[in-house]
Amino acid sequence: MITLQSSDKDVFEIEQSILIQSGTIKNMVEDDFTFIPLPSVDTETLIKIIEYMKKHADKTDSKEKNIKEFDKDFMKKTLNELFALVFAANYLHISSLLELLYPSIADRIKDKITEAIRQIFSIRCDFTPEEERRIIMDNKWAHEGTEIEGTLD
């Protein structure tokens, strides 16, 4: 059994066999660590990560359809939650979860306007208004279309 500690100092005891899906944890286990602090993962996110790994631990054929359904539902979260997951999965090196998250997030943001993107990613625009206008003019068609929306989720 391995103990994980979230950034909020909550502890979780999980079986090693489940946790080795995380490359990071696997390495630490191989170095004989049994207590693993994760200062960059909060409790809420860690619970979800553990839920994912538990579901994916037993990959028998009969469970495959089940797992696909689970994955589909698992992605039905707010954009903020998905981002928290992607950072955690990136830090923990859980490639299957990353391969699930990247396209889901891409799909969620692909039709958004630039201002929404800036707010979602907390990016400050460093173009002058003139430069920005120029870029938009060069790609006018990309800014037109009924599918484009400005929600933050």
List residues near another protein by CB under 8 A. Answer: 40, 83, 86-87, 90-91, 98, 102-103, 105-106, 109-111, 113-114, 117-118, 121-127, 132, 135-136, 138-139, 141-145, 148
DSSP β-bridge partners for residue 149: 112
Q: Looking at beta carbons only, is 54 or 93 nearer to another protein?
A: 93
Q: Smallest gap, in angstroms, from Cβ of residue 97 to another protein?
A: 12
Q: Smallest gap, in angstroms, from Cβ of residue 76 to another protein?
A: 18
Q: Smallest gap, in angstroms, from Cβ of residue 103 to another protein?
A: 5
Count of beta carbons in the 10 Å neighbourhood of residue 2: 19
- DSSP character string of 48-113: HHHHHHHHHH---GGGHHHHHHHHHHHT-S-HHHHHHHHHHHHHHT-HHHHHHHHHHHHHHHTTB-
Structure-block tokens of residue 42: 């909060």
What is the Cα–Cα distance from 16 to 36, expressed in whole angstroms? Answer: 12
Q: Looking at beta carbons only, is 18 or 71 nearer to another protein?
A: 71
Q: Looking at beta carbons only, is 62 or 139 nearer to another protein?
A: 139
Q: Looking at beta carbons only, is 58 or 132 nearer to another protein?
A: 132
Q: Smallest gap, in angstroms, from Cβ of residue 21 to another protein?
A: 19
The phi, psi pair for 82, rounded to 5°, reads -65, -40
Structure-block tokens of residue 137: 């003019």
